[in-house]
Amino acid sequence: MNRTILPNTELSVSRACLGTMTWGEQNTEREAHAQLDCAVAHGVNFIDTAEMYPVPPRAETQGRTERFLGTWLARQPRDRLVIASKVAGPGRRDWLRGGRTALVRANIREACEGSLERLRTDYLDLFQIHWPGRNVPMFGQTEFDPTKEGEAASIPEQVEAMAELIAAGKIRYWGLSNETSWGVMAFVRAADDLGLPRPVTIQNCYNLIARRFDGDLAEVCFRERVSLLAYSPLAGGHLSGKYVGGARPAGARFTLFPQFAPRYARPNVAEAVAAYAALARSRGLAPAALALAWQRTRWAVASTIVGATSVAQLEQNLGAFAIELDAATLAEVEAIHVRYPSPAA
């Protein structure tokens, strides 16, 4: 597995990052550990989690994913792994941390310390703000609505909170997630004004049917040296082709949770997925392999977050990172994108 050094850091990370959000809901602790062993055997050293996992989030399961990872991590050489987690923002899960979800200094610190305890580690390599605390379209929303404005923790306070965690040795670097171009620039500007560490990563949805990042956000990240960690590279499993034609395989995420990620139920999503699946098969590839191999060709993607619900599925997905797509195949991908421009963005 190839690795890359994230700009402005000393973090050398595998081009595939192991996602964990099914652990504790669709996967048992034993299955989670088997996936971890498999990923490491394939050269993966980067693992991403969050305090609110597993998904769909529930008060009864919150933190279970980190605990599963923690019992495995306690037996590993810590310095060989890059562990990332996230502090949840406000407005979506009021049961989290007793309702203390505003992104103020004390709550960010509390979230970090809770993750460290569950993960059984002294530090996080990367700590991310899971979603903005301010009014902003996210998770598939497409329009900014000024009527939804309300109180939010200041961006300088969030920067200061992260800097304090770095100074205390609890985290090495920090990043953003589900952010906008304005948000990235606001955080970068605040960090520079305060003389404090900048965000080094942004974890946003990015896949063949959700390419909003490719516009002005890509420019911002290029110019400010912020690395994209691409999540949902298979569009929640849609780009594996398993839902083509309305199929609902037993045990699959959208079979179990049909209301999850409504962006993938939008018009033209099914048609676009079917087109990419047909292209993959015409090249002798599994649809998932095409979607993941395409990620490796994207200059902005530092690491792609790959999840799975079985070791067999994970092995297939990790194998895709060794596939080289030829120019003709990439041209066909762009032709489909022209017909169906980011229907799930």
pLDDT band at 137; cut points 50, 70, 90: confident
Please list the active-site residues.
53
User: Is 272 contained in some domain?
Assistant: no
User: Is 19 contained in some domain?
Assistant: yes
For residues 123 and 116, the answer to whether their CB atoms sit within 8 Å is yes
User: Is 192 contained in some domain?
Assistant: yes
Phi and psi based region of residue 74 (left: phi greater than 0; alpha: psi -120 to 50; beta: remaining)? alpha
User: Is 275 contained in some domain?
Assistant: no
CA nearest to 33, candidates 89, 1, 74:
74
User: Is 83 contained in some domain?
Assistant: yes
pLDDT tens-digit series, residues 99-131 = 999 999 999 999 999 999 999 999 999 999 999
DSSP state letters, 30-46 = HHHHHHHHHHHHTT--E
pLDDT at 141 over 90: no
pLDDT band at 261; cut points 50, 70, 90: low
Q: Give the pLDDT confidence score for residue 142 in this predicted structure.
A: 79
Q: Give the pLDDT confidence score for residue 94 in this predicted structure.
A: 81
Share of the chain above pLDDT 70, in %: 95
* Cis omega (within 30 of 0) for bond into 54: yes
User: Is 256 contained in some domain?
Assistant: no
Number of domains in the chain: 1
pLDDT tens-digit series, residues 39-69 = 999 999 999 999 999 999 999 999 999 999 9
Using CA atoms, how far apart are residues 50 and 54, in angstroms rounded to an integer? 8
**Domain limits at 302?**
3-240+289-325
Taking only Cα atoms into account, the Rg of the chain, rounded to an integer number of angstroms, comes to: 19
For residues 284 and 269, the answer to whether their CB atoms sit within 8 Å is no
- β-bridge partners, 204: 230
User: Is 283 contained in some domain?
Assistant: no
pLDDT band at 264; cut points 50, 70, 90: confident
pLDDT at 36 over 70: yes
CATH number at residue 317: 3.20.20.100
pTM (two decimals): 0.94
Question: Which whole number is the average pLDDT over 145-154?
Answer: 93
Phi and psi based region of residue 56 (left: phi greater than 0; alpha: psi -120 to 50; beta: remaining)? beta
Phi and psi based region of residue 340 (left: phi greater than 0; alpha: psi -120 to 50; beta: remaining)? beta
For residues 264 and 210, the answer to whether their CB atoms sit within 8 Å is no
User: Is 273 contained in some domain?
Assistant: no
Contacts 24+ apart (CB under 8 A), 160-165: 160/105, 160/194, 160/196, 161/103, 161/104, 161/105, 161/108, 161/109, 162/108, 162/127, 162/196, 162/197, 162/199, 163/191, 163/194, 163/196, 163/197, 164/105, 164/109, 165/108, 165/109, 165/112, 165/127
Q: Give the pLDDT confidence score for residue 256 in this predicted structure.
A: 58
